[in-house]
Structure 1
Amino acid sequence: MTERFVPTARTRPNRLRERVQDDVAGVHAVLDAGPVCHVGFTGPDGPTVLPTLHVRIGDQIYLHASTGSWLRRLEGQQICLTVTCVDGLVLARSTFHHSMNYRCAMVFGALRTVTDEREKLAALDALVERLSPGRSREARGPNPRELVATAVVALRIHEATAKVRTGGPKDDEEDMGLDVWAGVIPVRTVLGEPEPDGVPPRPLPAGALTPGWTSSGSEIR
C-alpha cells in the first residue's frame, strides 16, 4: 500500500486537485530533484523567504547556516519550505492557457537545531555530496572552529504535499484551428564546462559531474 501524507488545513488543495501528489515517495522525489529550496517564515519585520541549499536524509530535511543567521534563530517556529522544478514552457493557442510544466513540493513544520555531532557531520557531508558526488571524501572536512561557526537545522517531513503539471496546453475547442504554434518547450538543468581554480588544474574525479538534481546526469553544456 502506498504511504501517503495525511491532509491538513495547510496542505489540502483548493483547486487543481488532479495535480496533487500526496504520496510520500512522490513528495520525496520532488524535494530531491531541486538543488535549491526556499524557506518562508514570519520575522519581526514581516514575511521573509530565504533561498538555500538543502538535502533530504530519510524523513528529515537538513539546512546549514551560520550560527547567527535567521535559520538558526527560527528553532521551534513554524515555517514553510518549498522546492520547485520547472520542466517545460507550455505555449497555448490563447494567451489565457499559457502555463509551465513543473514539480513543486511544500513542507510545513518547525525547525530544530541539530546538536548531535554525528548527525551534524553526516548532514554537512550530505549537503556537499548534493553539489558533487564524492566531494565530501576528497575535500578537507570542517575543522573544530568551522564546526562551531556552522549551524545545521532540520525539518521533519511530516506535513507535506506536492503538485505536478505535465503534458501540453489545455486549449479551448474553438481555438484549435488557429494558425498559432502550440506545444511544450522542455526546460533542462545541465552543468557547464568546469572552470578550474589553480595552476596546473587537477582533473575532476569521475562522477563529480553527476549530481542527482541535474536533468541528464553528466551532460555538459
Structure 2
Amino acid sequence: MTGPLEPLSPTDRTTVKREQDHAVTDRAALHALLREGLVAHLGVVKDDHPVVLPVAYAVDLDGPDDHGTLYVHGSVAADWLRRSVDATVCVTVTELDGLVLARSGFNSSMNYRSAVVIGTVRLVDDVDERDHALDLIVDHVVPGRAAALRRPTRKELAATAVLAVPLREASLKVSEGGPDDEPEDVEAGTWGGHVPLRRVADAPVSDPATPGEVPEHVLQRARDLGWDGGYDGA
C-alpha cells in the first residue's frame, strides 16, 4: 500500500466517544493489530436479534475495497453468512495484553488492543479474488501454508463463501500500563499493579499419519508465536 494513510475514525459511527484517551488514529497501528490477531468476531442482525460469531479472517491492504479489504469465509449453508451479504456488519479483533489490578473494583480493568470495523459486506464472486482471499486466510494463520497444501476441490469451493468488508470505517483503542487509582486508595496500602499477558505457542505436534519432519513454515510460525524452539520430534 503506497501513499499517506488516512487517519482512523472517518465517520461518526467509528469515532471513539468514550475514553478518548485510549483512541489511536494511526491507521498503520490498526493494520499491525489485524496482522497479529487470529480470530475476529462478526456481528450481524438476524431477524429481530443480533448474532456475533468468531471467524477466521485475513486482510489485503491492496484489496479492491475502500482502504483495503478484510476477508472472512464460511459455509454457504450458514444463515448468518447469507444475511451478511449487502448488510452492514461490525467486525472486531481484540488482543488481551494484561490484567490491570487496581485498588478498587471500579478502577480494575484490562490492557488490550481492540479494533472495530464497520461496513457493508460484499460477496466475493470473482473466482481469482475468491481464491486469493482463501489463500490469504490460510496464510494468516500460518504464513506459507497455502503453498504447501493441495488446492481446494470444486465441491469444497462450492460449499464455501467469501465475504469482503472495506477497511475505511474503523476505530482502534489501546489500553496499557498500570492502574489509575484514587490517591486515597493508594495511601490505604492495598497492592496494585498489572499482570502482563501474551500468547505463547508450544511445540508443534505431528499427526501420527504424517511422515517426515515438521515443515519449516510451521516451526517458524510456532517460534513467532513465542515457542522457545525446544522440540522433541513429537
| TM-score over 0.5 for the pair | yes
Match of 1:192 in 2: 202
Whether 2:155 is the aligned partner of 1:145: answer yes
Deviation at 1:201, TM superposition (A): 4.5
Q: Give the letter for the 1:21 counterpart.
A: V
Q: Which residue of 1 aligns with 2:74?
A: 65
Map of 2:64 onto structure 1: none
Question: What is aligned with 1:17?
Answer: 20
CA drift at 1:48: 0.6
TM-score, length basis structure 2: 0.86
8 Å CA contact retained: 1:93, 1:176: yes
Do the aligned partners of 1:72 and 1:151 also contact (CA within 8 Å) in 2? Answer: no
Q: Deviations over 1:95-124 (max 9, x none)?
A: 221110000000111111111111111111
Give the aligned partner of residue 8 of structure 1: 11
**Is 1:50 paired with 2:53?**
yes
Match of 2:112 among 74, 95, 102: 102
- Any stretches of 5+ residues in structure 1 without a counterpart? none
Separation of aligned partners in 1, 2:114 and 2:167: 15
The 3-state SS of whatever aligns with 1:39 is strand
Trace 1:141-180 onto structure 2 (pairs within 5 A): 141-180=151-190
Do the aligned residues in 2 keep the contact of 1:134 with 1:207 (CA within 8 Å)? yes
Runs of 5+ in structure 2 lacking a partner?
A: 62-67
Matched letter for residue 170 of structure 1? D
Letter in 2 for 1:89: L
Residues 167 and 118 of structure 1: is their aligned pair in 2 closer, same or farther, counting only changes over 3 Å? same
Conservation of the 8 A alpha-carbon contact between 1:133 and 1:207: yes
Q: CA deviation at 1:68?
A: 1.8
Structure 1-normalised TM-score? 0.90
Q: Indicate the SS of the match to 1:96.
A: coil
Between Structure 1 and Structure 2, how many residues are aligned?
219
Q: CA deviation at 1:45?
A: 4.0
RMSD across aligned positions (CA): 2.1
Identity across the alignment (%): 40
Q: Given that residues 35 and 140 in structure 2 are in contact (C-alpha distance below 8 angstroms), is that contact kept between their aligned partners in structure 1?
A: no
Distance 2:116 2:139 in 1: 23
Q: Deviations over 1:155-200 (max 9, x none)?
A: 0101111100011110111122333322111111111232221346
Partner residue, 1:134: 144
Provide the C-alpha distance between the structure 2 equivalents of 1:209 and 1:36, rounded to a whole number of angstroms: 21
